[in-house]
Amino acid sequence: MKLRTKILIMCLGCTFLALILQTAVFYSLSSEFVYDQAKNESENSLRNMQNEVYQFVKRIESSMVDIYVEEDFIQALKEEQSIDELRRRFFRRAYDIGTKSFETQDGVVALYLYTPDNEIISTYRRAVTPKHRYAEDIYEDMEQENSAKVLEYLESDDAAMLISSYYNPYREKDILRFVLKLYNNSNRNYQIGYVVCDVDSKVFASIMEKYRTDNTMFIWLQPDGDRPVTALGTLSTDEEELFRKMSEGIASGDTVNTAGINEQEIFQAEQSKYNLTAYSILPQRILLRNQRNLSINIVLIAIVMIVLSTVLSFLISRYMTRPLGNLMGTIQRIKKGETELRAGTENKDEIGELGKNFNEMLDQMEELREKESRANLLLSQAEYKALQAQINPHFLYNTLETMSSIAEIRGCPEVSMLSQSLSNIFRYSLNMKDQMSTVAQEINHLKNYCYVMSVRMQDNIEYIYDIDESLLKEKIPRISIQPLVENALNHGLRNKRGEKKVQIQIKRKEENVVISVRDNGMGMDAAKINENLQKNEMIQTEKGNSVGLYNINARIKILYGDQYGIHVESVQGEGSSVFIVLPAEKKERE
């Protein structure tokens, strides 16, 4: 170990030890303070939320009190007119009050006017759809509308406005309910009716959302002795149980325990005028997050100091070893594939000489690589031409013998047609200037071959063509279909008795061209042939009973890659299918 390294380790060790001691002391002294600050922030946020909720409730109450301006309606209530007369005269009064006294942002969804005997006078519902439905009378379904709380309030001496809620199954949400008693101005102890105003809970939800100190914070509003008015946030399984117990306790009038329970902190904020208290459940881990953040910051500071110490310690040594480091960096980049890079040789020392020699070595390697690439290209071309040059001479000899026999025995004009087809076959087969051909040319060549074979073998073979006309101009390797038919005739149908069929099909499948030749012959050992086709060994193109298949397969793989080629499917006694898969021609191809 060098002296410079020893000094570095000693400095870093002392710095690290000092930072650990500082972190431990700071954490022990400040953890409780930080935790209390986080709790105070949550409590203050809840109180601020309650202040805004109070202002909203006060605005709703003020709008409901405006009903006293409806002097004719108030006078009719004072005179205790009959319910039929009240409904006849004021059946639209709830609509007028709901649209005139309340603003759109108040979220009023329904308004009801009642007599002291709980008889409905007028109803206003903002929307009546399958999704937005509200009761015409809050006493239609006492349990669903939570109407028992309204009756309990009406029978009490409480003159303050009631705040309650119910669950609307059509909206699938809580609806806030405000109930205000109407009195005879001359006798405050004499109740002449009451008004019920239902408000969408999304108004409170938008207020509550602004004061959530964390997304994991769960807030709800609940009057003492009643169900929760509205809630915001999500709960875990344990928190749901805690919320259920607390809300049930509040509804039954029990005292709420706000001490931390099961790693949860409970906060509450009451209102001075209205019976509406805000509660929140916050996981203690959220309050401890500031402590963790503080600890992380201390660790980061320690890391930064260690890094700075390391940088300063190596500043001078790096100046001396920088050229060597640059050379090593260049070598790593060249190793990853940037072979065009070269090492800098501006230094006149040993490192500069090393970089110069390294560059010369790279130049020589690049030259050798180019030579090898050219050699491989020439080899591939030679292999391709050698594969193309493999023509079965027995076909020429046998055909000529057949022509001679027919001419000698029959002396019929078939010889002319046979000679013409054979001439076309020779002209097409021996023209090797272009390695590629079209589907149309290949089919024309195949039909000449099939005619010659029909005359020669005197077999009643049915040839079925199923060609996608849009592929007639598609480029494919020359002489790639005829050998497949020849293979079907020689190995599939030679010993076949009865009806003989060969189907030639050319279709487009996604981005490929699929050529298939099917026969109903005796079948073949498809597994062995596919294994040899997969190996694609040159020796297979020179021997065996399926030279044509191996030849075509080898040419296709040379031209397009190993993912293309020939595949064989066969069932003994039922027939065989040979498939060629080629890439469809694109407008632009390298």
In tens, the pLDDT along 219-265 reads: 888 888 888 888 888 888 877 888 888 888 888 877 766 555 566 77
pLDDT in tens, 350-368: 666 777 777 778 778 777 7
Q: What is the distance between the alpha carbons of residues 161 and 142, in angstroms, rounded to a whole number?
A: 20
**457, 346: one domain:** no
User: Does 356 share its domain with 407?
Assistant: no
Any idea what the CATH number is for the domain that residue 90 is in? 3.30.450.20
**Of 184, 204, 224, which closes a domain?**
204
Cα–Cα distance, 169 to 311 (Å, whole number): 67
CA distance 542 to 175: 87
User: In this predicted model, what pLDDT tens digit does every residue of 75-129 receive, in sequence order?
Assistant: 999 988 999 999 999 999 999 998 888 988 889 999 999 999 999 999 999 877 8
Q: How far is CA 562 from the centre of its chain?
A: 33
Same-domain pairing of 106 and 128: yes
| CATH number for the domain harbouring residue 530 | 3.30.565.10
Residues 6+ apart with CB under 8 A from 557: 536, 564, 565
Q: What are the tokens at 89?
A: 């005269």
Q: Tell whether 558 is covered by a domain.
A: yes
Token pair, residue 254, equals: 């029990």
Whether residues 82 and 181 fall in one domain: yes
Does 354 lie in the same domain as 396? Answer: no
Q: Is 70 exceeded by the pLDDT of residue 208? A: yes
- Report the number of secondary-structure helices (H) and strands (E) in the chain: 17, 16
Low-confidence winner among 29-33, 144-148, 150-154, 414-418 (lowest mean pLDDT): 29-33
pLDDT top residue among 317 and 454: 454
- Is the pLDDT at 521 greater than 80? The verdict is yes
Give the C-alpha separation, 165 to 247, whole Å. Answer: 14
d(CA 322, CA 316): 10
Residues 502 and 379 in one domain: no
pLDDT tens digits, one per residue of 38-81 = 677 778 888 888 899 999 999 999 999 989 888 899 999 998 89
146-192 pLDDT tens trace = 899 999 999 988 888 999 999 998 888 889 999 999 998 766 678 89
Residue 575 pairs with which residues in a beta bridge?
Answer: 571
Closest residue by Cα to residue 121 from 146, 86, 155, 151 = 86
Write out the H or E segment, with its range, that includes residue 219. Answer: strand 218-222
- Rounded to an integer, what is the distance from CA 150 to the centroid of its chain? 50
- The number of folded domains in the chain is 3
Do 547 and 532 fall within a single domain? Answer: yes
Across 15-24, 203-212, 547-556, least confident range? 15-24
| Tokens 């020179």 sit on residue | 542
Do 348 and 414 have their domain in common?
no
Instruction: State the residue range of the domain holding 533.
Output: 390-583
Q: Are residues 419 and 342 in the same domain?
A: no
Q: What is the pLDDT of residues 292-332, one digit of tens each?
A: 666 677 677 767 776 776 676 666 555 555 666 676 777 77
The yes-or-no verdict on residue 534 having pLDDT over 90 is no
Residue 87 has a pLDDT of: 92
For the segment 22-48, the average pLDDT, to the nearest whole number, is 71
Helices (H), ranges, 66-81:
71-78
pLDDT band for 530, please (50, 70, 90 cuts): confident
Closest to 286 in 3D by CA, of 233, 250, 365, 341:
233
Say yes or no: 466 and 542 in one domain: yes
Q: Report the sign of the C-alpha dihedral through residues 434, 507, 566, 543, in that order.
A: negative
Mark whether 455 and 547 lie in a shared domain: yes
| Residue 3: per-residue pLDDT | 46
d(CA 90, CA 76): 10
Q: Is residue 310 part of a domain?
A: no
Contacts of 533 (CB under 8 A, 6+ apart): 549, 550, 553, 565, 566, 567, 568
Residues 500 and 381 in one domain: no
Mean pLDDT of the chain: 79
pLDDT band for position 289 (50/70/90)?
A: low
Task: Indicate whether this model's pTM tops 0.75.
Answer: no
